[in-house]
Amino acid sequence: MEEQSHLMQTLSGVTLAGHPVALPVPHDGTDARNKQDIGDILHQIMTITDQSLDEAQAKKHGLNCHRMKPALFSVLCEIKEKTGLSIRGSQDEDPPDPQLMRLDNMLLAEGVSGPEKGGGAAAVAVATAAVGVGADNSIEHSDYRAKLSQIRQIYHTELEKYEQACNEFTTHVMNLLREQSRTRPISPKEIERMVNIIHRKFSSIQMQLKQSTCEAVMILRSRFLDARRKRRNFSKQATEILNEYFYSHLSNPYPSEEAKEELAKKCAITVSQGKGSTITVSQVSNWFGNKRIRYKKNIGKFQEEANLYAAKTAVTAAQAVAAAVQNSQTNSPATPSSGFQMKDEDFQLDAAEDKNNLLNNMFTGSSGSYSLPGSGDMFMSMSGLNGSYQPAQVPSTGQTQGDSIRHAIGQSLGYSDGLRGNPLYSPHGLNGNGGWHDAVTPSSVTSPIEGANSVHSDTSN
C-alpha cells in the first residue's frame, strides 16, 4: 500500500512533468535511487507505444543495414535447420503412396487419365470404328464410351483446376516467404519444404478426385460393360440358327471351334442390319452349354422344339431336294410320296406344329423316357430320304432319286448330321446316365447305319 501510493505519485509526477528518460540520479539515499529506477522503467513502458512505430522502424532499418546481417541470418537459418524443423523435414516426399499409384494405374488403364482423344463424339466414333469388324455391341459401347469421355472431361477439368490453384497458392506463398525472408531468417530450403507441403496437400485433394473418378468409372463399367447385368436375348433368327444346329446335331451337339465361328458368323449375317448384337464364339459356346444341360435336364420340355426344328430342317431339305430335282431330273415328281406338300413353307410349319402338338399330347406324360417311337412321319420320311433309316413304315421315298437327292441335302443343309437319325426318335447320343460326351462314337443304333451308307457331309463342313 505504502509503496504503491508512492509509486503512483512518482508516476504522475513524472508523467506530468514530461521528463525524458532520466538517468539514475546519483543520490546517496537508496530509497530515492530505487524510486528513480522504477520511474525510468515505467517511463519506458509508457512511452513505448509512442516511440514504437517510428523508432522501431528506424531500428529495424538500422539492423537490416547492418553489415553483419546476412551472416547472422544464415547462422540463424542453420540453427533453425538443426533444431525442430529438420526433424520433420527428414521424411520427405519420395514414398509414392501405393494407393495413389493404384488409382493412377487404373485411371490410365481405363483411358481416363491417358491422352485426351479429341474428346466427345468424335472420339467415340473413332473408337467404335477402330473396334471395326467386331461392331460388337456398338450401341451400348458407344453409350459407354460417351459416358466415359464425359467422366474423363470432368476429371481433366477438375485436375486442371486443382493444378492451377496449387500453382497460384504456391507462388503466393513463395512470394510471401521471400518477402519475409528479408526480415526473418528463412532459408531457401525451408521455402522448398513449404512448397512440398503445399503440393502434398494438393495432391491429397487430387487423390480424392481420382478416387471418386475411379468409383464413377467402376459404376459405369458395372452398368454398361458387365454383360451379365445388361443381358440381351439373342434375336429370333440367331436362336433359330443355333437351334437348327443343335437339333440337327442332337446326337453330338458339340460344335467344333470352326463350327462355332461359322454359327456366330451366320447369326451375324442374319441379324446384321438390325438391333441385335452380333454373337461371338464364346456366346455360341455359352448357348450350347446351356442348351445341352437344359435339354438333358428336361427333355420333355424340349420335345416340341425338337420336333419343330426337325421338321424345319426337313422342310428346308425338302425344298432343296425339290430344287435339286427340278434342276437335275425333270421327269420325276418333285413330291415324293411321303405325304406332305413342300410348296408352302407356312403350311409346312403349321402342319409340323400340329403334329408336334399331337406328339406332345401323346408323350409329354412319359417324362423319363427320351426315346420316342417314330411317329413324326415327316421327319421319318426325310430320314428315309437320307438313308439313315430303312424303316418299313415309311418306305416310299423314291429310290430313283436317291443319290442326287442325298447330294442335294448334303449341300443345301448347312448341317447334315441331323438327318442321320434324330435322337428325338432315337436319342443315341444320350446314354443311360444322360451323358453325351462318351457318345462321340454314336451308339448301336447309328453306327451300323453309318457304315452302310456314309453320307457324311458333316465332315465336309
Q: Would you tell me which residues interact with DNA (CB under 7 A)?
A: 226-234, 239, 254, 257, 282-283, 285-290, 292-294, 296, 301, 434-437
* Nearest-approach distance from CB 265 to DNA, in angstroms: 16
The CA-based dihedral angle spanning residues 400, 404, 406, 411, taken in that order and rounded to the nearest 10 degrees = -160
Shortest distance, CB of residue 270 to DNA, whole angstroms? 14
Nearer to DNA, 187 or 285 (CB): 285
What is the greatest pairwise CA distance in the chain? Answer: 161
Q: From the CB of 132, what's the least distance to DNA, in Å?
A: 20
Helix (H) or strand (E) holding 293: helix 281-297
| Smallest separation, CB 296 to DNA (Å) | 6
Closer CB to DNA, 137 or 213, in the complex = 137
Interaxial angle between packed helices 236-248 and 257-271, expressed in degrees from 0 to 180 and rounded to the nearest 10: 150
Smallest gap from residue 178 Cβ to DNA (A): 58
The least distance separating DNA from the CB of residue 218, rounded to whole angstroms, comes to 15
**Nearer to DNA (CB atom), residue 67 or residue 231:** 231
- The conformation of residue 23, written as its DSSP 8-state character, comes to P
Nearer to DNA, 59 or 301 (CB): 301
- Please state, in angstroms and rounded to a whole number, the distance separating the CA atoms of residues 413 and 407: 10
Integer Cα distance of 458 and 308 in angstroms: 21
C-beta closer to DNA: residue 80 or 292: 292
Q: Which of 274, 290, 320, 279 is nearest to 414 (CA)?
A: 320
Would you say 418 and 250 are in contact if contact means Cβ atoms under 8 Å apart?
Answer: yes
Q: Which is nearer to DNA, 239 or 404 (CB)?
A: 239
Alpha-carbon distance of 3 to 6, in angstroms, equals: 5
| Contact predicate 186/177, CB 8 Å | yes
Query: How far does CA 249 lie from the centroid of its chain?
Result: 36
Q: Which is nearer to DNA, 283 or 316 (CB)?
A: 283
Smallest distance from DNA to CB 282, Å = 7
Closest contact distance (angstroms) between CB of 237 and DNA is: 11
Q: Return the number of the residue (156 or 296) whose C-beta is nearest DNA.
A: 296
How far apart (Å, rounded) are the C-alpha atoms in residues 398 and 161?
Answer: 84
**H helices then E strands: how many in the chain?**
17, 0
The residues near 154 (Cβ < 8 Å, ≥ 6 apart) are 213
Of residues 283 and 397, the one with the C-beta less far from DNA: 283
Shortest reach from residue 195's CB to DNA, in Å: 46
Packing angle, helices 188-224 and 98-109, rounded to 10: 50
Neighbours of 77 (CB within 10 A): 19
Dist. CA 97–CA 95, nearest whole Å = 6
Least CB distance to DNA at residue 141 (A): 14
Q: Which is nearer to DNA, 12 or 282 (CB)?
A: 282
Q: How many whole angstroms separate alpha carbon 307 and alpha carbon 358? A: 11
C-alpha cell at position 349: 410349319
